[in-house]
Amino acid sequence: MKIRFWGVRGSIASPGPKTVRYGGNTTCIEIRTDSNELIILDAGTGIFPLSHTLLAELPLTANVLITHSHWDHIQGLPFFVPNFIPGNVLRLHGAFDPISGNGIEQVMSVQLQYSYFPVREAELKARTEYVTLTPEQSIQIGTAKVTPYLLNHPVINFGYRIESAGKSVFFTGDHEPPYNIYDAADPEFHEYQQLVDEKEHGIVRAMHGVDVLIADSSYTAQEYPAKRGWGHGSFESSLAYAKRAKVGTVFFTHHEPTRSDDALESVFASVCAAHPASPGAPQMRLAREGDTFEF
């Protein structure tokens, strides 16, 4: 299986000299099975450069798995070049939104209005198909088994486990570890803590034993308290998941857009120093735009 990172920043694209090494595009990850089947995780601005490389493979069926509908994970869809070429298929997978009452089709219909984009969905030359997923109900994409899991974010967010030919990867999308909303002195605390613990155990089971975990690591441990409830994890929480789930390699991603490359490397070095390598521990890597990882 091969992973290639096309966008690793969170919240808003952040191009410029201070992010040139790790990249400024928002979330998009290309997965290739050993049979060269294409799966795309999220459609942030990184899907635009990815789409140009796909022009050598036409006609194309692109299976895109959307974790959630926040802009930085869908804003590249109108600029996906194969959409404008007859014979291609964009198959968009994602969650039903109980707030709007719509399935994953809304992420295209909302963006492709004349108020926001000059081309309507009906004018696209490729065929668009929509697949609304159910938590923990697996689907098959070629040789790959894909299972969505409901994680913790202010909107419905799916983490995806992808398994093919004995290899596996889990992508969290945006995820903040569940926490107790009550103070310890509140009568509701202990009952709610049971729900938190059950949710955490379920997330660890979903990730368990994967070769690669790609995890939302927006904040440091020092930054997190001021961002609590925003729906993002930290380097420390991602590493804790990786250790508990006994994964092979953890990639820290969804980099804070205001964090320069130098600052990002400094944070990563501190995490590595605090958690030195040991037998059986996960390998730790910073996700970098353009990098590939094969296993």
Distance of alpha carbon 5 from alpha carbon 251, whole angstroms: 10
- Report in angstroms the alpha-carbon separations of 164 from 1, 2, 144, 169: 8, 11, 5, 9
Write out the chain's pLDDT in tens, 295 residues.
999 999 999 999 999 999 999 999 999 999 999 999 999 999 999 999 999 999 999 999 999 999 999 999 999 999 999 999 999 999 999 999 887 888 999 999 999 999 999 999 999 999 999 999 999 999 999 999 999 999 999 999 999 999 999 999 999 999 999 999 999 999 999 999 999 999 999 999 999 999 999 999 999 999 999 999 999 999 999 999 999 999 999 999 999 999 999 999 999 999 999 999 999 999 999 999 999 999 9
For the chain, what's the residue count? 295
Of residues 91, 46, 102, 89, the one with CA closest to residue 65: 91
Number of domains in the chain: 1
* 240 Rama class: left (phi>0) / alpha (psi -120 to 50) / beta: alpha
Q: Can you give the CATH number for the domain in which 57 is found?
A: 3.60.15.10
Say which DSSP state 172 is in. -
* CA 200 remoteness from chain centre: 18
Q: What is the pTM of this model?
A: 0.97
Cα 71 to Cα 11: distance, rounded to the nearest angstrom: 8
Domain that holds residue 42: 2-294
